[in-house]
Amino acid sequence: MKWARWALLAVALAAFPWIAGEYYINLTSQIFIAATFAASLNLLVGYGGLPSLGHASWLGLAAYLSAWMSLKLGLGHALTAPAALLGTTLVACAFGWISLRATGLGFLMITLALSQVLWGTAYRWVSVTDGDNGLRGLTRPAPFGISLDGATSFYYFALAVTVVAITLMAMFVASPFGAALRGTRDQPRRMSALGHDVWTVRWITFVYSAFWGAVSGLLFVYYNKYIHPASLSITSSAEALLGVIAGGSGTLAGPIVGAAIIMLLKNYVSAYIERWNMLMGFVFVLIVIFMPEGVVPGVRRLYLRLRKWRTG
């Protein structure tokens, strides 16, 4: 039964561009990017118990590195993509070493402070980032000679990257290392007493999470063909954190659902409702009241109650 549901979902996603208009194809591509970004943050928040307000650093930094190398150095995507991922991951190694000297609120504030450093640098280092104008005139890659300039081709590219990212993150969580990570979230002192290096487990997770945040950054800059300092702002980090919490932290499907809710409110509902931010607030208030554990765990709980009620 589970495989049948997955097969049905795969068929629906593959067939979607053939039945939807270009606007909805582009909107779904943006949802894929946001889902990858939120899922990477969920590794920290849901499985590591480390709430962060600086996760936009990895999306923005990877995007800026790729864009700068393409525009200023004239390098192709085959070089800029791995170089941007490597550079972002190395910065994450340093930021993780600094941030993980604290936990809880302290960790959240340090990640926020470090991300603000990158945000301020993007605004002020005009010779590199073009400041408030952003880097523009970018192109999309053409893997295996396939142009991604069309909405449909980019949709399938974003879908493929998202599936690979979510699958590898799921394998990470399901591995023995993932079990150790959840142990450091729930009982750090006991895990330390059992011989686990709690700090190292968290640091590896921080870096791994940043890597997938960087992957979403490359998708982001490829889609928009433009990057602005706003991508590094606290707003971007907060939206991802809201998506994780609303969808259900510590679940694989939760961040995907949460990211979809935010992107639909931000890009679709805003076309019809001027004060869509207020509507977003109401939606999250309702989620917190009726499904405090998140949409995915909440729906699962209601489904089990309904099935139990039907079977008597």
pLDDT digits (tens, 9 = 90+) for 81-90: 999 999 999 9
What pLDDT was estimated at residue 289?
86
Residue 1 reports pLDDT greater than 60: no
The 10s digit of each residue's pLDDT in 214-256 is 999 999 999 999 999 999 999 899 999 999 999 999 888 899 9
Tokens of 192: 């330390």
Tokens of 51: 């709430």
What distances in angstroms separate CA 109 from CA 58, 123, 238, 242, one per listed residue?
A: 17, 21, 13, 17
Residue 270 reports pLDDT greater than 80: no
CA distance 188 to 183: 7
- Across the chain, mean pLDDT equals 90
What pLDDT was estimated at residue 299?
85
Q: Work out the average pLDDT over 27-56.
A: 94
The 10s digit of each residue's pLDDT in 179-210 is 999 999 989 889 998 888 999 999 999 999 99
What distances in angstroms separate CA 308 from CA 23, 246, 296, one per listed residue?
A: 41, 25, 18
Residue 275 reports pLDDT greater than 80: no
What distances in angstroms separate CA 68 from CA 60, 85, 213, 272, one per listed residue?
A: 12, 13, 18, 36
**pTM score of the predicted model:** 0.93
At position 141, the amino acid (one-letter code) is P
Contact assessment for residue 290 and residue 248, using Cβ atoms and an 8 Å cutoff: no
Kindly give the residue spans of alpha helices, DSSP state H, lying in 46-175. 56-72, 77-99, 105-124, 126-129, 151-174
Q: Work out the average pLDDT over 113-142.
A: 91
What pLDDT was estimated at residue 220?
96
What pLDDT was estimated at residue 278?
80
Q: Work out the average pLDDT over 278-286.
A: 83
Q: Work out the average pLDDT over 155-169.
A: 95
**pLDDT category, 312, cuts 50, 70, 90?**
low
Q: What angle do CA 13, 59, 101 make, to 5 degrees?
A: 125
Kindly give the residue spans of alpha helices, DSSP state H, lying in the chain. 2-19, 22-45, 56-72, 77-99, 105-124, 126-129, 151-174, 176-186, 188-193, 198-224, 234-247, 254-267, 276-290, 295-311
Give residue 172's Cα distance to chain centre: 16
What pLDDT was estimated at residue 300?
85
Tokens of 68: 């700068």
* DSSP code of residue 134: -
Q: Work out the average pLDDT over 23-50.
A: 94
What pLDDT was estimated at residue 287?
85
What pLDDT was estimated at residue 221?
96
CATH of domain 20-311: 1.10.3470
8-12, 25-29, 55-59, 185-189: which has the minimum mean pLDDT?
8-12
Contact assessment for residue 140 and residue 154, using Cβ atoms and an 8 Å cutoff: yes
What pLDDT was estimated at residue 26?
93
What pLDDT was estimated at residue 115?
93
Contact assessment for residue 198 and residue 177, using Cβ atoms and an 8 Å cutoff: no
What pLDDT was estimated at residue 135?
92
What pLDDT was estimated at residue 2?
62
- For 45, counting Cβ atoms within 10 Å of its Cβ (0-12 exposed, 13-18 middle, 19+ buried), the class is buried
